Amino acid sequence: MMWERELINETASETQADEWNDLVASVQEELEVWWQHTTTAELVEELCAA
């Protein structure tokens, strides 16, 4: 029974890590797209507005 619990915990950790990696990858993609379509002037305006 102890090995089953360890297996479940290990699998849960891997699943959480996969979900976290997917989230990070999607955020990076969105930032890259935003950065490519944002001019320096727009960036300055957004930073000043924040």
List, for residues 10-35, the tens digit of each pLDDT value.
776 778 878 888 888 999 998 888 88
Asked if pLDDT for residue 4 goes beyond 80, the answer is no
Checking 7-15 for CB contacts under 8 A at 24+ apart, the result is none
Would you place residue 8 in the very low, low, confident or very high pLDDT band (cuts 50, 70, 90)? low
pTM: 0.50
DSSP per residue, the chain: -HHHHHHHHHHHHHHHHHHHHHHHHHHHHHHHHHHHT--HHHHHHHHHH-
Place of tokens 């979900």: 19
Confidence (pLDDT) at 16? 81
